[in-house]
Structure 1
Amino acid sequence: MTGNELRERFLSFFAGKGHTIVPSSSLVPANDPTLLFTNAGMVQFKDVFLGLDRRPFKRATTAQKCVRAGGKHNDLDTVGRTARHHTFFEMLGNFSFGDYFKGEAIAYAWEFLTRVLELPPERLWITVYQDDDEAYRLWQEVAGVPAERIVRMGEKDNFWAMGDTGPCGPCSEIIYDRGPEHACRSNPCALGACDCDRWLEIWNLVFMQYERDAGGNLTPLPRPSIDTGMGLERVASVLQGVDSNFDTDLLQPLIKAMEGLSGRAYDRGEAGFPFRVIADHARACTFLIADGVLPGNEGRSYVLRRILRRAARFGKALGVEEPFLYRLVATVVNIMGQAYPEVAEQQDYIARVMRQEEERFHETLNDGMRVLSGILERAGREGRQTITGQEAFTLYDTYGFPLDLTEEIAGEQGFKVDRAGFEDAMAAQRERARAAREDVKAYEFALAFAGNLDDIGGTEFTGYGRLEDTGKVLVLVREGERVPSLAGGETGYAVLDRTPCYPEGGGQVGDQGSLAWPGGAARVQDTRRLPDGKIVHQVTVTAGNLTAGQEVKVMVDRERRLATARNHTATHLLHRALKNVLGEHANQAGSLVTPERLRFDFTHFAPLTEEELRAIEKEVNQKVLANLPVTTLETSLQEARAMGATALFGEKYGERVRVVKIDAYSLELCGGTHLRSTSEVGLFRLTGESSIGAGVRRVEAVTGTAALDLVSQESQELATVAGLLKVPPFQVAGRVQQLLDKGKEMEREITRLRNQLAGYTVRELLGHVREVDGVPVLQARVDIADAEALRELADKVRDKLGSGVVVLGSQHDGRVNFVAMVSKDLVKRGVHAGNLLREVARIAAGGGGGRADMAQAGGKDPSKLDQALAYSLKVVAQQVR
């Protein structure tokens, strides 16, 4: 049975048992910022299990794509070393939300395995939680499993919890016995006594029947639920009679493709490790990019970059020096494109992103080698024997340079790496990334109100049609606690039953404004929405007291709202113009809409040319001048998609959505505030274009009065420059070009004179060459502060000298710099520049080293410079053979 057939049979089986087939959710969790990636089938139902969300069904079944790499659930380092660990895998599952429970779950699982898949029952073993007598009994009564094949295990293995508190319960694992030929040498080799490859876990049935409180107390849930997960790859390996997931039809074609790309044969033992890593990582990269993740330096993007570059490194281990991983996308699509059409639809885009990142990695790897050489030279000059953790982290973070490679190269030159410092820098980077994530900030903001607002109703937003309204203060919160009132000068949070203030969302900042009531007033500094829909106003009382329960007048800052609306409508115009000019692949990857400016991130593979930027700006302004009507309508998500409305990838939408339509030009799902016609934008000006990651570009722009101010400022600047150049404004460019050409001429003349002067210095130094045991040696103090210039001079002297040893020293700012050069013929006779300078620098209270033909070092005692240089003659005499 193929992997695709197994997936289809599983879903069909449970559909026949009254389960709704729910499509796999994105690998980027829609509503859980605590998770980097979807790592289990239950993630998309987490809010249902927590009672925060309801679905129109009580039974569901899914084939869920999952990634475990980064964070708590991280299998990255074990991938390829075992037969069953992956970064990307599929989890088949069936779920009951307060419908059926243990008996039915056990019956369904046993029927599917033994009747549909026809696995031999005698090969199936069961584990249950040590105190779960009910499950122990049901496995015998419902499935007929003999007691000797049911093993009780502890909480670590057979009790599942969503977190420290919340829903939890015992679980049962179904284990397939692969046979005594796979047994380990443990005595005994038995389920629960060892963890060898003989005992393969294929299905986990979680019985969610308790609620755990902060004190660890368990309370029975009124509606127990079922959450199960079966590993598709593992069961496929059993059905196909192979020893490893990598030998199944889900992964073997990728290994075959890699054999073709590398020209090497796959080995199922340790030598095949690179093949297995690449096959796994190709799937993970393909699906992550398809779900909107792009390589970068933070969070999910950083994990993707690490996976992709790790695969590229293993390609090098197989002798593949050119980008290759992108070529495997087609193979992934051939295997899985039918089940997951999103990868087939985006095949070219995924391959381009991967190729660009691979090319970038090859470039940065070369750059990293140069940077590491500089770090080692600097460490030598400073007399250090250790590369700092921060230096190693910079190589890793900026250049993708693996720590083990840094340690290997540094070790070859006698240096160590501060691994503990590297780990500290990594931890600090993770914390910075976590703190910077807007979804985490929003999550933490919501947590600040947890438990404070359970007993109040929701908030009705009225701000689409009005900027003033009256509302009742439902609750006030200050410093995390509910308070009855806020006094003059105090700042807190107010939840109203009605408000025209737009809460931050969809990239648009929240409204500001004011509250007023008889005898009092407050300033609204920000507006945000909690996950349950309540709208929270951050307020500072400026007069009187604000009291819970009182009626207030709510007024939105009109000018600020209008400026924000200009930028939001302009953002929709910009999105459409980008697609028209660059191509339909230019999809939104993020946005920020404020009263002052707009920022728009989109998928594209190259910097925009001046011609493209002018075309985009021109098209937007043409639509502004066309005075196109801007209208909105509410409809179902299905109808909106049928209309062709553009949705933000990865965004979670409800069944009812709001569509913003700009005549026949643009149609997008959007909950933000907009103008009534495009002419109200006034003027649109692009202010910047940049890269924020592989395959993602960013443009920034201003509209309305901000755009007019920019035009005025640019005009004034042009007039000022024209005055300084003493030409009319239209001749500024020509005059600047003349000055640039003249500057280049002067630079060439300076270079000629500098080379001429260096020639005089070289000739003068050559007059001080001495012979040591027949070896020409030049040791001299020179007045050059820059270490690079010192090395260049030593290079020129060695070239003129032909065969010989050059040792130059200089002092600057209380420190000493040394450089040594040795000709190739003398290297063969035992003279070693690195060892020579290590001895010389020690006299000047320093240290260093380097290659046999070139080395640099430093010292802390300038008074010993001449003594150290003189000592070089003795060291050369000792080295030469």
Structure 2
Amino acid sequence: MGDSERCSNKVAIHSSFVSGLFRDCLDRPGPGEDSAHRGLWRFFGLPPCKLTSSGDKVREAYIEFFRDKKEHDFIASSPVVPLNDPTLLFANAGMNQFKPIFLGQLEPNSPLQGVARAVNSQKCIRAGGKHNDLDDVGKDVYHHTFFEMLGNWSFGDYFKEEAINWAWELLTEVYGLDPERLYASYFAGDEELGLPADVEAKEMWEKLLPPERVLPFDRKDNFWEMGATGPCGPCSELHYDRLGGRDAAALVNADDPDVIEIWNLVFMQFYREDDGTLTELPSRHIDTGMGLERVTSVLQDKRSNYDTDIFGPLLAALHDLVGGDPYQGRVGEEDVGMRDTAYRIIVDHARTLTLAVVDGAMPSSEGRGYVLRRILRRAVRYGRSKLQAPPGFFSQLVPKVADCLGVAFPELNEGAKRVESVLREEEAAFDRTVDRGMQFFEALRDELTAEGKSIIPGDQAFLLYDTHGFPLDLTEQMAQEAGFTLDSAGFEAAMEKQKERSREALREQQAQKSEGLQPLELVAEQTAWLGDRKVPITDDDPKYTWNTQPSASILAIYTEHGFVESTADIKDDGASVGLVLDKTPFYAEAGGQVNDLGLLRKDDGAELDVKVVQAFAGYVLHTGPLPTGALSVGDEVVCQVDYAHRSRIAPNHTMTHVLNWALREVLGDGIDQRGSLVTAERLRFDFSYEASNGVSVKDLQLVESKVREVVDSALPVHTKTVALADAQAIAGLRAMAGESYPDPVRVVTVGSADLDTILEKPGDSQWLTQSVEFCGGTHISSTSEAKSFALLEERGISKGVRRIIAATGEAAEIAMKEAEQLDSKVTELEGSKDMKEEALIQLSRSVDNSELPAAPKAALRDRLGQLRKQLKKKQKKKKGKVSKEDQAAFLAELRQAIEAARSAGADFCVATFEGSGVDGKMLRDLASEPEMESLAVLVLNQPSDGAVDCLAAVPSSLQASKPAGAWVKAALDAVGGKGGGKPAFAQGAARGTDSQALSAARAAAEAFWAS
């Protein structure tokens, strides 16, 4: 019986004396908003007083309470993909976007500067790293990979008393929860930490709750830490008893599904040092977090988050797609066939994938992209195996996710179609992956059966799991059906071996990073130390002035052991030293641009060789090795920026802007920046692009041509700091997706119109014809200073994201000149009447190994390919035994093709020949060489009789996803041939083919690998 039904029955029974009161109660948004109503509902045994409204209303009530009644600033949720925090795969807590405040590293021009109180609902994903709920989703009714975290924060403003009292006010008066069902916890103290019990919080709670419902817990439950180091502090959790009418104190923090934590109030007052010691933070903060899904289930009197209106529409949409029995909420042994488990997994994962992709992440083979791929495959697998869902069902849930969450996160309304397209393609790829995995398994099964074995080796099962993404339980199921058992211990051993390889690689990476200069960082303790001593933040406006050598005063000297008065006090010759100056012309690393290099020199010759420049909370730290001579606080130094170094960086940065504009001009408005890196040698630009085969050579040529036109036109580069709202109104303005910009903001435009002219008519479409971007970097004053531009490489780095590498100046000119020289050599070879194979091979190697503009390089490779075909046609077609000379020629050319594939970053090579000396033994011998452990090779040969012979060798690391037998079959199916074999090696042939068969088979082989 629902709440309203119970309420109606009670009204009928007692209508003689309470009908008016009950009518009033039922008409209110949340019954029991005062003590009289609460008492009335409890008197008649009705549900505890609560706000029985939608999840949207719960979110809205929370934000309105803190924003309107408690004077908090509403700060919109940051993207769930933390583009500015490389330590996180995903935003996993509401406080993530406020880390610079807690760490004392907030820049003076940050939009968060001056915010003392904040409230929002943050998009969070916990599916990797320290916080990982992926494996629990579906097994119970309250874990999620994506959830919303309602939070309110104080940054050095209010503290425990306000946080506790306001939490109580919101829960009992706004949400109308029954106080008798609430329990509060507090930190019980810890001898190891040297901290006593949080008696202060305990006494505050006991003013609101009886002592028996104010409970102490240890550091595991009631001491919150940002990480191994950093801000931390005791916390108080609020727990709610869904059943009520009992003493549930013993069930708090006991994993009872009916006594659940709903809110955590963190009192951030300490900083944990590298050695584990705790020091008082200079400012005390409040950080709270309450899961919207969980508190909504409480307010709607549902024992399951999935029974609320937050998930109801999604579950209904999924049922419409799969048919059969609708969701019934069964868990554990009651969920026979795991149908309801599958429902929960799929709708949860649909929310996660939709929010992650709309915020810029893409399923891929590494990092957060790999986590997303695993999540999608888990959802699809459960849908196909437990719900008999049709192919492509999962991506069809995206519009419903957007409907449900678009009110809170409007970016979904614009991005849902793109997300659906991405997930549809990824889902289809997984279906193909499963098919190939089954082919691999069947080939392995047949091989083991022939050998009289009945156990699937653990390393082979792991190969399926790790390389292919083939679920272990599906392998176990297929093994059982085939009468085999699985070597689980061998699987675990292979898994542990891979983990150890990963750990070793991480150790090597860390060791490499530790060589040379030790990086220094100013965090809360250091920036507070500077602030307490009235050290002003660094004036870095001089960084935009070129060819100047201003004097500056040393305000502080920092080492890894703390602040010192003089470098003469430092005894470690290998120490890194950081200087804070009153002003600086050095550019600190930011926005993808590397920092300036140079010297800080005192009159007596003492100097610091500046290698790293970084800004922390407005303090610019100039770091280098221990100076020659002594530098002391108060000394004057001359700042000598290496402007020759900057003069190579600035053109690359300006041309990055122009490249961004040119890509939009050629490829359309769907191009969004995903990252960049600007150095003295190169510029790197990552952008979204959905076409699976990348940017065409024709479009690359057009993009490069447009950038060169801008260089040749000597257009002026204008910069100006303007109001953020004014800048955002400019037609065609480019900004990094998910980036937070200061107000006012610096704008850089490349073109004839300056910012004053543009701002007179900001919406005018003519501004689309020139580059306009937010940027705080250093730039050239005219595009002619770039001298030239060469687009050196274009490739995919993850699904839907491409990368361009380019150069300006001398590096670009060298690349273009080399392309011209190689073009002349290819032209000369094309006109030769006596073309030598050795010359062709050598020229092909030169093209592959040279750094050339991307479009000419592709064109040269195509022309050389045509020359190879011509050469083969001129060579005598031989039958029978192949000579040693022909075998050697074949191997040389094949090795060249393999090297070209490896240089291009590919993990496979498809090589075509006409009448070559290819045979299976030669390819097997080649594949056994150590350098071939990560590259698969397929050879197609068309001898004079018109047949097409096909051989393939695949290394063990790739056999799970691309077995050789399936590869050969795919290639020969396109030309009416047959073939197959084991995952490691396969062969086959097609007879009676025509002159187009070789290219058709090659296209099919390459398409198989790209699928």
Identical aligned pairs, as a percentage?
A: 41
- Tell me which of 688, 705, 710 is aligned to 1:623: 710
- Tell me which of 58, 69, 73 is aligned to 1:20: 73
Contact 2:734 2:772 in 1 (8 A): yes
Report the Cα offset of residue 401 of structure 1.
Answer: 2.9
Residue deviations 1:599-630, cap 9 Å, x none?
A: 21100012111221122122222222332211
Residue deviations 1:29-51, cap 9 Å, x none?
A: 46654433322223333443455
Contact 1:448 1:480 in 2 (8 A): no
Distance (Å, rounded) in 2 between the aligned partners of 1:212 and 1:306: 35
- Tell me which of 128, 147, 160 is aligned to 1:70: 128
Distance (Å, rounded) in 2 between the aligned partners of 1:299 and 1:738: 40
Equivalent residue number for residue 853 of structure 2: none
Farther-moved stretch of structure 1 (207-216 vs 23-32): 207-216
Equivalent residue number for residue 704 of structure 1: 809
Distance (Å, rounded) in 2 between the aligned partners of 1:361 and 1:274: 18
Contact 1:128 1:172 in 2 (8 A): yes
The structure that is strand-richer by fraction is 1
Whether 1:261 aligns to 2:334 is no
Residue deviations 1:422-474, cap 9 Å, x none?
A: 1342464478579979xx99998344999788557654432321233134473
Report the Cα offset of residue 734 of structure 1.
Answer: 10
Q: SS at the partner of 1:104?
A: helix
Question: What count of residue pairs does the alignment treat as equivalent?
Answer: 760
Letter matched to residue 224 of structure 2 = W
Aligned runs of 1:87-98 on 2, under 5 Å? 87-98=145-156
Equivalent residue number for residue 105 of structure 1: 163
Equivalent residue number for residue 288 of structure 1: 356
Aligned runs of 1:609-688 on 2, under 5 Å? 609-643=696-730, 645-663=733-751, 664=767, 665-688=770-793
Letter matched to residue 121 of structure 2 = A
Report the Cα offset of residue 274 of structure 1.
Answer: 1.2
Equivalent residue number for residue 174 of structure 2: 116
Equivalent residue number for residue 800 of structure 1: none
Letter matched to residue 543 of structure 2 = G
Distance (Å, rounded) in 2 between the aligned partners of 1:857 and 1:701: 39
Whether 1:4 aligns to 2:56 is yes
Report the Cα offset of residue 81 of structure 1.
Answer: 0.9
Residue deviations 1:230-260, cap 9 Å, x none?
A: 2211121123232211121111211222222
Q: SS at the partner of 1:639?
A: helix
Report the Cα offset of residue 84 of structure 1.
Answer: 0.6
Q: 1:147 to 1:366 in 2, by over 3 A?
A: same
Residue deviations 1:388-408, cap 9 Å, x none?
A: 988766654543333444566
Q: 1:726 to 1:45 in 2, by over 3 A?
A: closer
Contact 1:326 1:351 in 2 (8 A): yes
Q: SS at the partner of 2:131?
A: coil
Contact 2:567 2:626 in 1 (8 A): no
Distance (Å, rounded) in 2 between the aligned partners of 1:23 and 1:164: 28
Q: 1:784 to 1:102 in 2, by over 3 A?
A: closer
Equivalent residue number for residue 301 of structure 2: 241
Distance (Å, rounded) in 2 between the aligned partners of 1:443 and 1:410: 54
Equivalent residue number for residue 871 of structure 1: none
Q: TM-score, normalised by structure 2?
A: 0.66
Equivalent residue number for residue 116 of structure 2: 58
Equivalent residue number for residue 402 of structure 1: 471
Whether 1:171 aligns to 2:235 is yes
Distance (Å, rounded) in 2 between the aligned partners of 1:338 and 1:373: 49
Contact 2:523 2:616 in 1 (8 A): no
Residue deviations 1:550-597, cap 9 Å, x none?
A: 544444444432222221111111101111211212111111222222
Q: 1:280 to 1:463 in 2, by over 3 A?
A: same
Farther-moved stretch of structure 1 (460-469 vs 53-62): 53-62
Aligned runs of 1:384-403 on 2, under 5 Å? 395-403=464-472
Equivalent residue number for residue 608 of structure 1: 695
Q: 1:548 to 1:405 in 2, by over 3 A?
A: farther
Contact 2:183 2:249 in 1 (8 A): no
Contact 2:104 2:524 in 1 (8 A): no
Distance (Å, rounded) in 1 between the aligned partners of 2:559 and 2:295: 54
Structure 1 stretches lacking a partner, 5+ long: 755-781, 790-852, 859-881
Report the Cα offset of residue 529 of structure 1.
Answer: 0.8
Distance (Å, rounded) in 1 between the aligned partners of 2:574 and 2:226: 38
Q: 1:220 to 1:627 in 2, by over 3 A?
A: closer
Distance (Å, rounded) in 2 between the aligned partners of 1:680 and 1:744: 48
Equivalent residue number for residue 841 of structure 1: none
Distance (Å, rounded) in 2 between the aligned partners of 1:50 and 1:538: 20
Whether 1:275 aligns to 2:327 is no
Farther-moved stretch of structure 1 (164-173 vs 254-263): 164-173
Equivalent residue number for residue 421 of structure 1: 494
Distance (Å, rounded) in 1 between the aligned partners of 2:495 and 2:268: 41
Equivalent residue number for residue 314 of structure 1: 382
Report the Cα offset of residue 701 of structure 1.
Answer: 1.8
Equivalent residue number for residue 138 of structure 1: 204
Report the Cα offset of residue 374 of structure 1.
Answer: 7.4
Report the Cα offset of residue 656 of structure 1.
Answer: 3.7
Q: CA RMSD in A?
A: 4.5
Distance (Å, rounded) in 2 between the aligned partners of 1:451 and 1:338: 40
Letter matched to residue 611 of structure 1 = K
Equivalent residue number for residue 445 of structure 1: 519
Equivalent residue number for residue 547 of structure 2: 467
Q: TM-score, normalised by structure 1?
A: 0.75
Q: 1:680 to 1:116 in 2, by over 3 A?
A: same
Q: 1:654 to 1:518 in 2, by over 3 A?
A: same
Letter matched to residue 419 of structure 1 = E
Report the Cα offset of residue 83 of structure 1.
Answer: 1.0
Farther-moved stretch of structure 1 (319-328 vs 52-61): 52-61
Contact 2:673 2:687 in 1 (8 A): yes
- Tell me which of 687, 691, 694 is aligned to 2:799: 694
Residue deviations 1:323-375, cap 9 Å, x none?
A: 33322111111011011112222222222222233233334444445566778
Residue deviations 1:823-873, cap 9 Å, x none?
A: xxxxxxxxxxxxxxxxxxxxxxxxxxxxxx999999xxxxxxxxxxxxxxx
Report the Cα offset of residue 99 of structure 1.
Answer: 3.9
Equivalent residue number for residue 577 of structure 1: 662
Residue deviations 1:109-163, cap 9 Å, x none?
A: 333223322333333333344444444443443x3x3444444434432333444
Distance (Å, rounded) in 2 between the aligned partners of 1:315 and 1:345: 27
Q: 1:434 to 1:578 in 2, by over 3 A?
A: farther
Farther-moved stretch of structure 1 (19-28 vs 696-705): 19-28
Distance (Å, rounded) in 1 between the aligned partners of 2:881 and 2:674: 53
Contact 1:26 1:38 in 2 (8 A): yes
Farther-moved stretch of structure 1 (718-727 vs 86-95): 718-727
Report the Cα offset of residue 476 of structure 1.
Answer: 6.4
Equivalent residue number for residue 158 of structure 1: 222
Aligned runs of 1:184-583 on 2, under 5 Å? 190-192=250-252, 194-208=254-268, 224-265=284-325, 266-269=327-330, 270=335, 271-317=339-385, 318-320=387-389, 322-369=391-438, 395-405=464-474, 416=487, 417-426=490-499, 428-429=501-502, 445-447=519-521, 455=530, 458-461=537-540, 462-472=542-552, 474=554, 484=567, 492-493=576-577, 495=579, 497=581, 498-514=583-599, 520=605, 524=609, 526-537=611-622, 539=624, 545=629, 547-548=631-632, 551-583=636-668
Letter matched to residue 264 of structure 2 = N
Farther-moved stretch of structure 1 (622-631 vs 159-168): 159-168
Contact 1:361 1:399 in 2 (8 A): no
Contact 1:388 1:421 in 2 (8 A): no
